[in-house]
Structure 1
Amino acid sequence: MNCPDCGAANLPEGARFCPTCGASLPERSHPLIAQKIIDYGDLIAKSTKGFVGRDWLRRAVEDFLRADSKRYFLLSGEPGVGKTAFLAHLVTEQSYVHHFISSDDLDWVSPVAFAQSVGAQLAARFGAWLLEEDEAPPRVTVDMEIGTIAAGGAAIGVLVQQYTSLPVEELARKLILRPLKRLAERDRRPVVLAIDGLDEATSYSGQTTIRDLVAGLRAADNARVVLAANPGPALEDLAFQLEPAGLARFPLDGERRENLADIRACLKQALEEPAVSEAIAGAGLSATEFVDQAVERSEGNFLYLRSLLDAIRAGQAGLDLSALPAGLTGHYRDQLRRIKQEAGREGWRQRYRPVMGVLAVARAPLTARQLADLAGVDRETGDDVLETASLFLDRRERPGELPAYRWYHRAFADFLTSEIDNPDDWFDPQRYHAQVADRIHARFPDPSRIDDEYALRNLAYHDRRAGPEAFPRLYALITPAARRAKRTRFGSDTIFSQDLAEAIDAALDEGPAAGLPQLARCGLIDATLGSMVADVPPDLLRDLARAGQWARALNLVHLNAGRKGPGLQAIVEGLLVDATADNLDLAREVAAQIPHRDDDAVNRAEALARAAAVLAEQGNAQAAALFEAAEHSAEPIPGLDDRARTLARIARLRAASDPDQGRRLFDAALTCVREMPVDADPGVREFASAANMVAQTAPEARWVIDHTPIDTIGAKARALADVAAELARAGDSRAEAVFVEAESVAAQIGSAGIESVFAEHTADYVAARRRMSPEPPLPPVEAASLESRLQATERVPRDGEGFYAITLLNLAKTLLAAGEEGQGRSVLERAIVAAEAADGGFQAKQLADAATLLRQTGDEEAAGRLDTKVSQLADSEADLPTSYRAWLAERGREVVTTLREVAMTRAGFVKRRYYSDKALLQMAESLAAEDPDGAELLAQEIRDVSLRTRAHATALGSLARRKDPGADRVVQLIEETVLMAPEHDRDYLRAETVAVLAPLSPGGARRFSDSIEADDLKVTALVDIGAGLVAQGQAAAEVWDEAWQAAQG
């Protein structure tokens, strides 16, 4: 391999940097990288065909890069002046990382696809090591050896597949910003990115667009970005964002002298074609006359030139070369007139307009059959229209696919749908969006059964733009069944998330009266989409990989990050069942992606060893390097017993091809286990002891005990038995002696439970001794079985502090207040399920709130069941007095002093002020309804500002409801408490006060919402107040309108 920068020759394979000049070296190509890079080959080839001139523009870019004083170069100009062609030429000439945005293609305008493609290009050009999730371990030589096998030890295809469920900003951070920063640490030279069509990024319906990600590139000091966009408000907004980072603006005026010179050069080049020169001569024009007229009439627009020359080459009848129309719009009008004349009046209205209208709004190229179906015409008619309009069409041809068509340039579609530029034959875009949506809905009445890729990707897009009448159909697309269908087809929730964004935009368009219920519903789904966790067992992930669905399996592993190591190891095992060359490549990449640290190191080491064993069976010389990497990965395994087991498994796999190395690894495993004390690994015992002490002083920390491996009885004996089993599987004669040693160690333990603990390991050893043949082959995997098993795994994540339940409860409250009782009750049922998954104290609070909402719906029976459960929880929780309400009824107002004493005693016991504050808050909340004055006394004992504010607000609600004059004093106390907090927290505290106060006293809550400055928190507060007003039978229209105005802000 040679260095592409300095030419240094014979560099070692797998090297990341040139030792002579320090430049990053490219890695070998891998099919997974290519899968993630958007292929702009056709666009670049067509855009650069006949490319001439532009030296002056190239120099401007070179000066920008050479000066290195600014970060962005912005080329702006009207459609057709050659921006895309110039950037395509730069990409061809300089191999810049690139992206061409188009609103006609979901992948080209999607910020997720942008992050994936740009990240993949960075990996392909500079090395996939840029994208490694964990820092590389110290022994670089081993990793470099892995690099020759697994593209730097971290395949972009694997990484990107794992990241598809991340928020797009985090996706961009992992795939673009972090790699750029890592590259800057080693190579300070700038990395140039070329991005075209930035103005079209705003057509994406999600909250984050490519434009936002481009602005975020300011965080990478080594990024230099060459941008191209049409002028307009969107461009000016972006320029305002980019100015602080350094923005060089270059307006490309078509009438600019250098541009007109390039137009002239392009025409002179075309005159060398016989078809063009003969047509000019046939029109009675000299070459000079034609060129002068075309330059003037083009107004410096290359798209005009391209369309004119194509018409000449096609021998278009009636083309008057002596009287060319002025400007691109004039040319389009002239061409449209010709198409109408050829079609005839009835043919134009009934045949041509439907087809051309569908092409004007289509989101992607369409086959002739798709086009005819969506336009509602027969196939022959569709073909006729395509032939007549061929000068304006781009025909996409790919191996194994039918030809697909779209307008050659977005400018022609914009002309057709512009009432100003095309007033006589205006194509109303809403009408044609509705036509496309109607045809798809008629063909697929059930959205979950759509099997057409264009429809799956774009139906929501067309429904959204078909007008308010289509919004109910759009909302009907947001269902679990539709989500499953898209996730099954595309491997992630990306398309469903886009549909969700369209639905949210539609609800916003409808306004508060009509749109609020759907806004709440879709907002809930949007907020919780990323929280739906697939807790998929490893055997199912293994079977998915065996069935060829490795991409889907990787998505599921990432969703359940807590079990990343076992999940990735299972995928490796599944891929190795059928060890084809592609599966082996992928298995090595997946194995290299398992983190180096903690318990995941076990899975990384074993996965690498399994892949190495298959390589060894195939006689591949690289197996040794991968075995060494597996051994190295075992070093950070925390427990001596687990480290010994892992080394023994690696030893058994390696012994099959290299008995000496296998024996060495078995020796290392035995050394590890023999260093252990008889009873347990010292580190585990020390941690267990510390956990016990913590739990005794702070019962709130009981979870530490639940997650600590305290039961270490016989750890050394068990580890010895497991090493013995691996020795037996490898046919090593030492197996029996090691097992006898394990039995001897077990006998030294003075515990009655050792026999049952040790029995399982004994059984495994006996099985290993008796196993005379390989394990039987796994049964075949059935697709239907996989789907049913996957559906059974989806669940709501356990939420220790009940935040998920809070979200659901708030949305249920909003829906019920808006009169949407059916949807509100449905959300409330989910909230109860989520609350029951929360930890004790939080669980009681959320269930109590749910009971209150159930009573609002008139379901006293269900509310009573929750009250009973809350009471049981209160009795069982160590940090709650027994049954607050019963206790308060017996003791009355005198209990305030006692409560304070209990709280203070508890604070001394816990030795952590925060927990005593929480206890005081819980007591104040329970006391408020019976004795708001007593609750207020308790609130004053709370030191934590946030908790004290909540306690004050609870007391204030009861006082206000009673019209107690003491309420004004509490309002003042709350404001004083809020002002004690840092300035950036004050709005949050006021919003929280409103949330507590609104159901009890909406009017009182209003005093705090008026002080909130942040728009998002003000909207939340106003919605809470509106819900409180509706619940009390009061008019809320004014509050809804105010919330709406704040939301628009």
Structure 2
Amino acid sequence: MTDLFAEGVVSQYVRDDPDFVPRPWFADRFEAALQDPNCRYLLLVGEPGAGKTAALAWLADHDRQSLRYFVRRDSRQPLSAGDAQSFLLALGHQLASRRPSLFRPDRLRIAVRQRIDALRAGARAVGIDVEELVLSPFYQTAIQVEQDVRIAAGEVIGVRAGRAVLEDRLLSPESLQYLALLDPAAVLAAEDPAARIVIFVDSLDELRYHLGGPTILSWLENAPQLPANILVVLASRPDDSLLGVFRDRQRQWLQEHHVGADLGVVNQDALQFARRRVANPIIRRAVSRAGADENAFVARTVDLAAGNFQYLSALYRGIQASEQASLDELPEDLTGLYRFFVDQVAGAMRDQWVELPSGDLAQPAHRMPAWEGSVEPLLTLLAAAFAPVTRSQLERFLPDRPLVSGLRVIRQFVREHDGGYSVYHDTFRDYLHERLNVTDGHRRIASSYRAGQATWSDVEWSDADEYAMSYLAQHVSALVAAGAVSLRELDDLISRPLMLEKSRRYGSLESFAVDVRLAVDTASRISGTGALVAEVRARWLLANLAAAALSVPEDLIAAAGRAGASRLAIGLAESVRDPSGRAVAFLAAGMELVRAGEHAIGCGALRTSLAVMDAAGFFPIPAISRMLGGFAQAADRAGVDLVVEFIDRADPVQPSPEQGLLADVIDAYAVLGDSVTCSDRATRLMFSDTAALTTVCRALAKVGDHELAMRLAERSTARVAVGSEVAEQMVLEGSIADGAELGRV
């Protein structure tokens, strides 16, 4: 079951740790950011082990309405990876759970009724025909088809769909940002102006390992201006090259705090933590046995830690696991501390041996030193693993090694949770990557799933477990990067049998597409003709997967919008992959949803349409005119401004916007009641086109600028036609005298 709210992480750092120390200094920073109307992002930067994750987990535990996202290296499970789609999907599902009223959870229905007197032989009646129905992830949709056929000699079909799926991972980040966050935030602002949506995002630095596609960080860099009721709290290791673009683009809305900037305050927290740990009877005995004064020892360890909580955690964890540890000369940094305790365990096993089976019944078992034969292979495998592994998986990966004794020896370095084993902190994994040959761990895992088959296509994929489905390609990629196998191994793994099994198991090709993107990235990092061929093949395959997406008729999307079925309309628009068709599809959905009164969702669709046009670099004037009218009808001033900005910065190679479009801009501001902008634009622009001038004059009449409307009408070469239109508008607006006067002129 997916831990949507990261409760496992929060519990691990806060509720399940009796020695946890609150961080009041960061709580003060957080409260100040909440009160600052210009703060949208609060960034906490600190070295590995400084306590960033614990600080965020503590705040999240206190704010039960908050949204949480804890990035973990190489995580590829839905709603926990570093890509923008997983991030936005998680936020949307969390927000829908926390505040369901923002998503209008009432069921929507599309109804089709057919009355057919007689259906001849060979004829066919279809109620709804969609090749593939792709729905938005935060809603439910009901489709009802009623068919009344008196005489049926032909074929009667109610709903025909090649496939119907809730394929949320096909949604683009540009669309998801509105569906999941921005549109609900607008609804919340209207319902409760004082409420805030707080989002905690941990470990941005892990995104440096993300392979291909938009990441959380790229979304943060390019996100539209967040509304004032959203605050994103972020944590990262120092990495100027990774964070530079984000800092530059969001500087106006960003507050940043460095852990350790006030070492005295941080050391007070560290001192409290160390005192709690040394109160453990086992640790207290070890300190006493070493002849050290307890308070002096605590102060010494806090000084050595220099604000690094992981140093203190590893130190006292190691002392507790081995009471005989020498406490005279303690290492001065975290890496030295890890080396100290690993060397201590290895040294204690110097005279221990294990019996290893030979693998051949005719040959006797052979003896090896216990460290090399049991503990080191186990640490190597855990350092290579991309997720916690179970006891049965360890037995599969290390069939010839004694696990029970090995796990018992390394318990201070391992975390066991829900039956899975992993190294207890990422900093310790980093240390093991420096000390051990982790490539051997990747090889053991990959070989266990290959199971002696000649090729990857020969593997019985239906028998593979979830770990293989999620991480096998990454292990093979790691072997390629280390030069342990050729790129051909990864190329062969990305095979049709694997694709079919993933499609069968998950109901989509997205998981397989992740593997293909990994193959593209891996090949692109290797020089040579063979790598280039592999990259081209992978890119070709990725293009074919994308081309498998479908096109949906615009009239079907519009029909869904007219029915107020926002989820179906947006889902159908999402399924269109061609940029021009996608822009038109979202425009159709947005316009009809606005007309149906679904203003927030409709305007979100219009914004997506505009974003697609902008990204693709095309300028369809009729579509833009319709979009202006949609935003104006929904009283969305920001949407109108967005379209006007798009028009003003149109590509210079495009012809100047036609007068009709500029007139529609003025009319949109008139609908919004902005007389100043209407008059200003009408005064600055010269309109020779009669239809455009008529639109402008009517717009001026709407906002009450009758003098300018009459003056422009009188200047027109078609002043009779224009004047009569404007006079009619004046009468409609209640200015009967002015309308009559212009009529006489």
Same-fold status (TM-score > 0.5): yes
Tell me the equivalent position of 1:297. Answer: 304
Partners of 1:262 and 1:60 lie apart in 2 by 16
**What residue identity is the alignment partner of 1:44?**
V
1:43 to 6, 9, 23: 9
Aligned in 2, Cα 1:312/1:519: closer, same or farther, shift over 3 Å?
closer
Deviations 1:517-562 (A, max 9, x none): 32222222222323325xxxxxxxxxxxxxxxxxxxxxxxxx6766
- The superposition leaves residues 975-1004 of structure 1 with CA deviations (integer Å, 9 ceiling, x where unpaired) of xxxxxx954679xxxxxxxxxxxxxxxxxx
- Corresponding residue to 2:489 among 446, 470, 473: 473
177, 180, 185: which is aligned to 1:180? Answer: 185
Q: How far 1:169 sits from its partner (Å)?
A: 4.5
Q: 1:135 to 1:367 in 2, by over 3 A?
A: closer
Partner of 2:404: 383
Aligned pair partner of 1:331 in 322, 326, 337: 337
- Counterpart of 1:251 (choices 249, 258, 261) is 258
Contact 1:37 1:121 in 2 (8 A): no
Deviation at 1:105, TM superposition (A): 2.9
Is the contact made by 1:165 and 1:493 (CA closer than 8 Å) also made in structure 2?
A: no
Match of 1:156 among 138, 145, 162: 138
SS in 2 for 1:530: helix
Q: Is the 8 A contact 1:106 1:363 kept in 2?
A: no
Q: Does 1:88 align with 2:54?
A: no
Matched, 1:118 2:127: no
Q: Is the 8 A contact 2:282 2:323 kept in 1?
A: no
**Deviations for 1:130-165, whole angstroms, at most 9, x for unmatched residues?**
37799999xxxxxxxxxxxxxxx9983759934232
Q: 1:982 to 1:280 in 2, by over 3 A?
A: closer
* Contact 2:390–2:421 (Cα < 8 Å) also in 1: yes
Residue matched to 1:494: 510
Q: CA deviation at 1:209?
A: 1.5
Q: Which position in structure 1 is the counterpart of 2:238?
A: 231
Structure 2 match to 1:360: 383
Q: Deviations over 1:682-727 (max 9, x none)?
A: xxxxxxxxxxxxxxxxxxxxxxxxxxxxxxxxxxxxxxxxxxxxxx
Q: Give 1:173 deviation, angstroms.
A: 4.1
Number of residue pairs the alignment of both structures matches? 496
Measured at CA, do residues 561 and 47 of structure 1 come closer, stay the same or move farther in structure 2, by a change above 3 Å?
farther
Structure 1: unaligned runs, 5 residues or longer = 1-34, 138-152, 398-402, 419-425, 534-558, 567-593, 605-632, 637-980, 987-1049
Relative to structure 1, the CA distance from residue 504 to residue 168 in structure 2 (aligned partners, 3 Å threshold; closer, same or farther) is farther
Report the CA distance shift for 1:519/1:460 in structure 2 as closer, same or farther (over 3 A): same
The corresponding residue for 2:574 is: none
C-alpha distance in 1, partners of 2:181/2:547? 24
Partner Cα separation in structure 1 for residue 473 and residue 437 of structure 2:
19
Equivalent runs, 1:409-448 vs 2, <5 Å: 409-418=425-434, 426-442=435-451, 445=456, 446-447=458-459, 448=461
Paired residues of 1:109 and 1:210 also in contact (CA < 8 A): no
**2:617 alignment partner in structure 1:** none
* SS of alignment partner, residue 201 of structure 2: strand
d(CA) in 2 for partners of 1:451, 1:179: 40
2:562 to 597, 609, 620: 597
Distance 1:176 1:487 in 2: 29
Instruction: Choose which of 188, 199, 202 in structure 1 pairs with 2:205.
Output: 199
Distance verdict in 2 for CA 1:175–1:464, change over 3 Å: same
Are the aligned partners of 1:355 and 1:372 in contact in 2 as well (CA < 8 Å)?
Answer: no
Q: Which residue of 2 aligns with 1:455?
A: 468
Matched, 1:283 2:287: no
Q: Which whole-Å CA distance do the structure 1 matches of 2:555 and 2:466 have between them?
A: 31
Greater share of helix: 1
Q: Deviations 1:651-694 (Å, cap 9, x if unpaired)?
A: xxxxxxxxxxxxxxxxxxxxxxxxxxxxxxxxxxxxxxxxxxxx
What are the superposed Cα offsets for residues 20-73 of structure 1, whole Å, 9 maximum, x if unpaired? xxxxxxxxxxxxxxx665252232122122222421121112112212222211
Say yes or no: does 1:526 pair with 2:542: yes
Aligned residue in 2 for 1:371: 394
CA distance in 1, matches of 2:520, 2:272: 50
Asked whether the equivalents of residues 450 and 456 of structure 1 are also in contact (C-alpha less than 8 Å), the reply is: no
- Provide the C-alpha distance between the structure 2 equivalents of 1:63 and 1:208, rounded to a whole number of angstroms: 31
1:156 is paired with a residue whose SS is: coil
1:394 to 404, 412, 415: 415
Give the structure 1 partner of residue 477 of structure 2.
464
Partners of 2:54 and 2:71 in 1: CA distance: 13
Map 1:566-577 → 2, pairs under 5 A? none
Identical-pair percentage: 25
Deviations 1:564-598 (A, max 9, x none): 999xxxxxxxxxxxxxxxxxxxxxxxxxxx94635
Alpha-carbon distance change, 984 to 72 in structure 1, aligned in 2, over 3 angstroms: farther
TM-score, normalising length: structure 2: 0.60
Sort the Cα spacing of 1:310 and 1:255 in 2 relative to 1 into closer, same or farther, 3 A. Answer: farther
Shift of 1:195: 0.4
- What per-residue deviation string (whole Å, max 9, x for no partner) do you get for residues 354-407 of structure 1? 2211111211100122123224533xx12222211111211011xxxxx11001
CA distance in 2, matches of 1:37, 1:333: 34
1:500 is displaced (CA, Å) by 0.9
Equivalent residues in 2 for 1:888-927, closer than 5 Å: none
Contact 1:254 1:300 in 2 (8 A): no
> In the alignment, is the contact (CA less than 8 A) between 2:415 and 2:422 conserved in 1?
yes
1:57 aligns to 2:26 (yes or no): yes
Select the structure that is richer in strand.
Answer: 2
CA distance in 1, matches of 2:288, 2:280: 12
Aligned-partner SS, 1:249: strand
CA 177–466 in structure 1, closer or farther in 2 if over 3 Å, else same: farther
SS of structure 2 residue aligned to 1:106: coil
Match of 1:510 in 2: 526
Is the 1:99–1:195 Cα contact (8 Å) retained in structure 2? yes
Q: Which has the higher contact order (CA 8 A, sep 6+)?
A: 2
Deviations 1:862-888 (A, max 9, x none): xxxxxxxxxxxxxxxxxxxxxxxxxxx
1:504 CA displacement: 0.4
Alignment correspondent of 1:214: 220
Change in 2 beyond 3 A, CA 1:372/1:232: farther
In structure 2, distance between residues paired with 1:43 and 1:236: 24
Provide the C-alpha distance between the structure 2 equivalents of 1:169 and 1:133, rounded to a whole number of angstroms.
Answer: 25
Secondary structure of 1:38's counterpart equals: coil
1:434 is displaced (CA, Å) by 3.3
User: What CA distance in whole angstroms lies between the structure 2 residues aligned with 1:241 and 1:984?
Assistant: 29
- Tell me the SS of whatever aligns to 1:164: helix
Change (3 A) 1:219 1:361: farther
Partner deviation per Cα, 1:1013-1037 (whole Å, 9 max, x = no partner) = xxxxxxxxxxxxxxxxxxxxxxxxx
Name the larger-Rg structure.
1
Equivalent in 34, 46, 60 of residue 77 of structure 1: 46
Determine if contact 2:375/2:410 at 8 Å carries over to the other structure: no
Task: Give the 3 Å change call, closer, same or farther, for CA 287–116 of structure 1 in structure 2.
Answer: same
Match for residue 1012 of structure 1? Answer: none
In the other structure, the counterpart of 2:269 is 262
Determine if contact 1:71/1:246 at 8 Å carries over to the other structure. Answer: yes
CA displacement 1:774-821 (0-9 Å, x = unmatched):
xxxxxxxxxxxxxxxxxxxxxxxxxxxxxxxxxxxxxxxxxxxxxxxx
| Cα displacement (A) at 1:230 | 1.0
Determine helix, strand or coil for the equivalent of 1:74: strand
> Aligned to 1:166, which of 161, 171, 174?
171
- The separation in 1 between residues aligned to 2:166 and 2:277, in whole angstroms, is 46
The letter of the residue matching 2:488 is P
